[in-house]
Structure 1
Amino acid sequence: MRFFLRLLGSAALVLAMGTASAESFVFKDLQGHEQRLQDYRGKWVLVNFWATWCPPCLEEIPDLVSLYDAHKNKDLTVIGVSLDSTRESVVEFVAKKKISYPVVFGDYDQAAQVGEVDALPTSYLYDPDGKLVSYQQGMVTRSSVESYIKSKTLRK
C-alpha cells in the first residue's frame, strides 16, 4: 500500500464506526496500566490490532517498534491490541520480539471501543486532539505513518 491510511471520508464507514471519543477508549496493558486516549492529548495515537499468528501483523511489528521508539517522547505513541487466544502466548511473544510500546491482551468486545476489526492487522489513528482521523486494514509502516502525519501537520 502506497499511502498509509484511508481517510474516513466514506459516510458509511463513519456511520458504522459511530463517534469514537477520547473518553470511550480504555484498555489495560500487559503491565496493568490503563491506556486511555485522553491521556495522550497532544500526541498522535496509533492503535494497532494484531495477533501472534498473523503473518502481516508480524511483518509490521519491527516498523511499529521503530516508530514508537523514535516518537514516544515527542509526538506519537503506539498501542498494540493483541487479539490472541491466550495472554501467556502474547506475554511470551512481546518479550521475545522486544516490543517496546504498550501491548494490550484484548478481545473483539474491547476492540469495539475503537471501531470495527474485520481483518488483522487493523490500525486506527487519532490526531493530537483525540479525534479519530484515519483507519487502515492491512499493514502499516513507519514511513507511511510519518508521511501521513507530516502531510496533515503541513496543512494546518
Structure 2
Amino acid sequence: MMEPRMMMPPRMERSFLPPAPISWAGALLALLLCSAPAVRAGAWDLKDTAGVHHTLAAEKGKWVLVNFWAPWCPPCLQEMPELEALQQQRKDVQVIGVAVLYRKRQEVLEAVRSTAVSYPVVLGNEDIASDFGEMHGMPTSFLYDPSGKLVGKHDGPVTREEVEEILDSKVSPGGGRF
C-alpha cells in the first residue's frame, strides 16, 4: 500500500506585464519578478560612515535603493559606478550602500574611494542584512517607491538602465523582483 504524500501548495508569485512591447532588458526584468522580503517603511535606521542616520521615513517622496555589497566582490564593485550615475542623474532617487562581509572598516573605505561613489555607505553586518530579507549572494538591492512601499528586490548586479526602467514605468512591480 502506498503512503499518501504530503503536497506543498504551489508558490504564489506576482507578475509584471508591461502595457506595451518591451526591450530585452525589460523582458528579463519581468521574468525576474517574484515575492519580495518583508521590511516595511520606517522599519530600518542605517547609520552611514559619516555618522548620518538614514531612515525610509526621512526619504518619503523619493525612490530608495538599498544596495548590499561586499568589498571583495568584483560584481559589487563594478555595479557601484552604475548606482553612482543613477544617484547623480535622478534627484528623485536615494541610493544607500550597505557594506557587509568585510574584515576592517578600512577595507570598505578603500572600496568606496576607488569606485568614487558619493551616495551614503553604511558599515553593515549580517543582522542588518537579515532585517531586509533573504539574499542569494552579493550584490543584492531592495527598491522602495516614494510612498515607502517595498516594490522589488534584485539579486546580482543591476544597471542604472534597469532601475530607471522600473522608475519610469507607470506600473509598479508590486512586491516582486526588478
Shorter-chain TM-score: what band? 0.7 to 0.9
Report the secondary structure of 2:153's partner residue: strand
Q: CA offsets, 1:47-84, max 9 Å, x none?
A: 0000111111111111011101112xx21110000112
Partner of 1:80: 97
Aligned to 2:163: 145
**Structure 2: segments with no counterpart, 5+ residues:** 1-23, 173-178
| Aligned residues between the structures | 145
- Match among 91, 94, 110 for residue 128 of structure 2: 110
CA–CA distance in structure 1, aligned partners of residues 143 and 119 of structure 2: 15
Output one character per residue of 1:25-56: Cα deviation in whole Å (capped at 9) or x when no partner.
11110000001111100000000000111111
Greater fraction of residues in helix:
1
Deviation at 1:92, TM superposition (A): 2.1
What CA distance in whole angstroms lies between the structure 2 residues aligned with 1:4 and 1:69?
23
Which consecutive aligned stretches of 4+ in structure 1 deviate over 6 angstroms post-superposition?
Answer: none
Kept after mapping to 1: 8 A contact 2:46/2:53 = yes
In structure 2, relative to structure 1, the CA distance for the partners of 1:25 and 1:140 (3 Å cut) is same
How big is the shift at 1:95?
A: 2.0
1:69 and 2:69 aligned = no
Q: Out of 124-133 and 84-93, give the one that drifted further.
A: 84-93
Question: Which protein is bigger by CA-based radius of gyration?
Answer: 2
Q: Does 1:28 align with 2:47?
A: yes
What is the identity percentage for the equivalent residue pairs of Structure 1 and Structure 2? Answer: 45
Structure 1 length normalisation: TM-score?
A: 0.85
Aligned pairs for 1:9-48 (under 5 A) are 10=35, 14=36, 17-18=37-38, 20-48=39-67
Higher RCO by CA contacts (8 Å cutoff, separation 6 or greater):
1
Using the TM superposition, give the Cα deviation of residue 4 of structure 1 relative to its aligned residue in structure 2, in angstroms. Answer: 4.5
1:114-125 correspondence runs (5 A)? 114-125=132-143
- 1:121-132 matches, within 5 Å, as 121-132=139-150
Distance 1:123 1:97 in 2: 18
Q: Does 1:51 align with 2:80?
A: no
